[in-house]
Chains A and B, each alone.
Chain A
């Protein structure tokens, strides 16, 4: 058992060990753990309340939903984490004299004890459905067998899909996908709440989720619990026997896979093993009226934005998510897109949100470089060119995202006439944001999340509270500097004097360009003196 205990300890140690500096990391991990458990307790209480308060048919539907949610989450999240999680790397355990039984048992126990949130949510089932002593063994057994089945299934899939799950491409896709899960949960939650508010509890009953969810393994557990609660012990035990068989079969498959791995026969997913892909050689592209250094840095950054999922997701989070939020908020507001409160301020609100996201990017220009910042600063080019090249790339990328977003808003609201002005406003405000952001990039740089870390993990770099306040101050400064720009674009609209645009639009563009140029010059003069500090701040490790 000592070896099995060591495997369980290893899982815990590596889960906790993802935090960076030991002391602060433990605190952050503790806070995350606390909130995770709070969330789980919240879900537990919701279901417990549903089980106690709802009429029996509706409570049964809730039971099917809860067990399916736990089953799905327990299956999906660990599999997504494989790409980033060394604690599940079987190949590293192959060196030790572990029997297949010890290894399988160690993996099962590690998975079971390292998912306290899953257990907390599951606890609602025995707490909510045990009315008589006779029901207790059934509910507890159903929940326990479901947990054993799902962790054995996860481990089997981990082993069988190891190469695929650990491949760089999967990791890249997961980096992109993970934030979308948060958005999907937000949208699903909003849709569900809206549905309940509009349709009432009666609609919930008519949906009958159990019709669909009964075919999942969680459906067997739900059937066992629901029938036992109704006093139908025969069907309940039949469900339980089915679940026992399923759990035993899954454990057997897992044990077989572990044995094959130990025997050196595991070469699963060979067909999926990635072959490095040949890239088209970089073209020199259109000759830009820029210095060679500016164009080279800009081209390099554009390539990285295209290929690096970490950078892509930063842009998506900064620009696309605010748009989704704005569109949903307006869509579900009482008047929708035709509502009077939105018609005037829609673009301004959307741009404000987008620019807030953009500012977080523009205020950490060297954070994208990571450790490569040390190479960038080795090049003998004027630092103004480096900043200008990086700004140009980010401006291009963000405008490529903003433009369709603004077109979408115009289409939804029918405000086509405002589109050109909104575009000019976004382009100019973004320029100012880059100008101010350069100062923060130099004086308050920070490390972006490490590329090969778990996207769910807490070690994500970042500025901390003080840094956040500095960023906020920078954003407010940008907003103040953008006031003349906004005035130039909005005043003719407010005064219904469209002819004024012939004067105000060139003035607005000129103002933004002039101010950016001035800010760039001031910032560029300060880069060189701060290079060692920037390298230390944005790299994975300090100098040593």
Chain B
């Protein structure tokens, strides 16, 4: 099969843990320059999908191509082109924020002078300048997330995978980060973005995929999803309709 040219392509991507199907035959295509949202209730398979797309988890079946490279067969080529912000931050917490960014830059082969310049800019932008020489273990969760995000974009990746990037981030930094991400998509970078905050996804994403119990129940822009769900409301209404959530429950008996 000829390698696809899109930013991310998955074909029959499946992951089974013991007997539980976490992701079931996921077929997706993410274009370059696209801000692609990944939605689903807890346990829908979003994180598992992202881990498979980034080569951190071996699929049970199916294939993934990133920028035309097969994630299983050409992992280093893929990793050269992606940036990842995992949901569970896995940082070297005994390095300082600056040291961590310097380490990441070297590992991605960013020239030293350029790495210094980008590190300075990112620390300033993320509001970490004052704390750059403190150990990451001493950072708050939000600060750790900002460092991880800075490390993910420092080498200017072609595809950025972000798993819950805005949880624990303050409003000001959130706004700054959203602007940076938009700037990246204007430069033809693709962003695959998972979040529970539907307003942010609706605001940022050009297309959205909705997963439910490992299955893809809808993919497309808001208009397409509205059509599919026979709903005219917001992304939240579309999402609830597609995952079949019961919202008309009567609440707790002892609160009536």
Instruction: List residues of chain A with CB within 8 A of the CB of B48.
Output: 543-544
Within 8 Å by CB of A282, from B76, B84, B98, lies: B98
Instruction: List residues of chain A with CB within 8 A of the CB of B75.
Output: 528, 531
Q: Does A168 contact B (CB under 8 A)?
A: yes
Is B135 touching A377 in the complex (CB atoms < 8 A)? no
Interface flags, B75-119, vs A, CB<8A=1, else 0: 111011010101010111011101100111011110010000000
Q: Does A404 contact B (CB under 8 A)?
A: no
Q: Does A382 contact B (CB under 8 A)?
A: yes
Instruction: List residues of chain B with CB within 8 A of the CB of A308.
Output: 94
- With A276-B135, A279-B133, A378-B84 given, is the CB distance from A304 to B92 under 8 Å? yes
Which of B53-61, B182-190, B225-233, B240-248 lies at the binding interface? B53-61
Q: Does A281 contact B (CB under 8 A)?
A: yes
Interface flags, A295-314, vs B, CB<8A=1, else 0: 01101100110011000000
Q: Does B197 contact A (CB under 8 A)?
A: no
Instruction: List residues of chain B with CB within 8 A of the CB of A370.
Output: 90
Interface flags, A512-531, vs B, CB<8A=1, else 0: 00000000000000001001
Q: Does B3 contact A (CB under 8 A)?
A: no
Instruction: List residues of chain A with CB within 8 A of the CB of B151.
Output: 375
Is A541 touching B88 in the complex (CB atoms < 8 A)? yes
Q: Does B22 contact A (CB under 8 A)?
A: yes
Q: Does B180 contact A (CB under 8 A)?
A: no
Instruction: List residues of chain B with CB within 8 A of the CB of A533.
Output: 58
Is A168 touching B137 in the complex (CB atoms < 8 A)? yes
- With A281-B98, A304-B95, A378-B79 given, is the CB distance from A276 to B90 under 8 Å? no
The residue of chain A having its C-beta at the shortest distance from the C-beta of B56 within the complex is: A374
Q: Does A193 contact B (CB under 8 A)?
A: no
Smallest beta-carbon distance B128→chain A, Å? 13
Smallest beta-carbon distance B251→chain A, Å? 24
Interface flags, A268-291, vs B, CB<8A=1, else 0: 000000001111111010000000
Q: Does B17 contact A (CB under 8 A)?
A: yes
For chain A, residues 240 to 280, give those with C-beta under 8 angstroms from any C-beta of chain B.
Answer: 276-280
Q: Does B194 contact A (CB under 8 A)?
A: no
Q: Does B134 contact A (CB under 8 A)?
A: yes
Instruction: List residues of chain A with CB within 8 A of the CB of B135.
Output: 276-277, 279, 307
- With A168-B137, A276-B135, A276-B138 given, is the CB distance from A293 to B112 under 8 Å? no
Is A380 touching B108 in the complex (CB atoms < 8 A)? yes
Q: Does A506 contact B (CB under 8 A)?
A: no
- With A280-B133, A372-B91 given, is the CB distance from A532 to B57 under 8 Å? yes
Within 8 Å by CB of B90, from A304, A374, A382, A531, lies: A374
Q: Does B10 contact A (CB under 8 A)?
A: no
Q: Does A379 contact B (CB under 8 A)?
A: yes
Is B95 touching A374 in the complex (CB atoms < 8 A)? no
The residue of chain A having its C-beta at the shortest distance from the C-beta of B82 within the complex is: A378
Within 8 Å by CB of A371, from B51, B54, B90, B108, lies: B90
Is A279 touching B134 in the complex (CB atoms < 8 A)? yes
Q: Does B47 contact A (CB under 8 A)?
A: yes
For chain A, residues 153 to 210, give those with C-beta under 8 angstroms from any C-beta of chain B.
Answer: 168
Report Cα–Cα, A300/B136, bound state, in Å: 14
Report Cα–Cα, A308/B92, bound state, in Å: 10
| Tally of chain A residues near chain B (CB < 8 A) | 41
Q: Does A80 contact B (CB under 8 A)?
A: no
Within 8 Å by CB of A277, from B84, B90, B134, lies: B134
The residue of chain A having its C-beta at the shortest distance from the C-beta of B86 within the complex is: A374
Report Cα–Cα, A528/B135, bound state, in Å: 30
Is A168 touching B103 in the complex (CB atoms < 8 A)? no
Instruction: List residues of chain B with CB within 8 A of the CB of A14.
Output: none
Smallest beta-carbon distance B45→chain A, Å? 9
Q: Does A381 contact B (CB under 8 A)?
A: yes
Smallest beta-carbon distance B100→chain A, Å? 9
For chain A, residues 319 to 373, give those with C-beta under 8 angstroms from any C-beta of chain B.
Answer: 370-373
Within 8 Å by CB of A544, from B22, B96, B108, B138, lies: B22
Q: Does A535 contact B (CB under 8 A)?
A: yes
Instruction: List residues of chain A with CB within 8 A of the CB of B77.
Output: 380
Is B55 touching A377 in the complex (CB atoms < 8 A)? yes
Within 8 Å by CB of A378, from B54, B92, B96, lies: B54
Is B94 touching A307 in the complex (CB atoms < 8 A)? yes
Is B107 touching A293 in the complex (CB atoms < 8 A)? yes
Report Cα–Cα, A277/B135, bound state, in Å: 8
- With A300-B95, A380-B79, A543-B57 given, is the CB distance from A373 to B90 under 8 Å? yes
Smallest beta-carbon distance B133→chain A, Å? 5
Smallest beta-carbon distance B48→chain A, Å? 7
Q: What are 17 A-B pairs at a CB distance below 8 A?
A: A278-B133, A279-B96, A280-B133, A296-B103, A300-B92, A300-B103, A303-B95, A371-B88, A371-B90, A375-B90, A375-B151, A377-B55, A378-B54, A378-B82, A379-B107, A532-B57, A543-B48
Question: In the complex, given contacts A277-B135, A374-B56, what are 20 additional A-B residue pairs having Cβ atoms less than 8 angstroms apart?
Answer: A168-B137, A279-B99, A282-B102, A293-B106, A296-B103, A303-B95, A303-B99, A304-B95, A307-B135, A372-B91, A373-B90, A375-B91, A377-B55, A378-B79, A380-B80, A380-B108, A380-B109, A382-B76, A539-B90, A544-B48
Where the two chains meet, the residues of B that have a C-beta atom closer than 8 Å to any C-beta of A are 17, 22, 47-48, 51, 54-58, 75-77, 79-80, 82, 84, 86, 88, 90-92, 94-96, 98-99, 102-104, 106-109, 112, 131, 133-135, 137-138, 151
